[in-house]
Amino acid sequence: MTTSELATVLAWHDALNAADLDTLVSLSSDDIEIGDAGGAAQGHAALRDWAQALDVKVEPGRIYVNDGVVVVEQQTI
């Protein structure tokens, strides 16, 4: 993982925990996939809906990178 990818993951989580949806979306690809116990969805609109409904803080867990795709496991804090 590059320093840039790690910085993006950390900034993404900071934006999520601060409920800064504009920054969160700007750090996310157009085809971002969000999945949790409630199901899965794709895209910026789905990300906004999910982030607005989130009532906990999260931190990154394990991070996987392959060919420019980053997958991050999250833990509630």
What is the pLDDT at residue 1? 74
pLDDT band at 69, cuts 50/70/90?
Answer: confident
Count other C-beta atoms under 10 Å from residue 50's C-beta: 19
Residue 50: domain span: 3-76
Q: Residue 22 maps to which CATH number?
A: 3.10.450.50
Task: Return the minimum-mean-pLDDT range out of 31-35, 54-58, 59-63, 66-70.
Answer: 66-70
42: part of which helix (H) or strand (E)?
strand 39-42
The pTM score is 0.87
For residue 30, is pLDDT > 80?
yes
CA distance 53 to 37: 13
- What's the chain's average pLDDT? 93
Tally of domains within the chain: 1
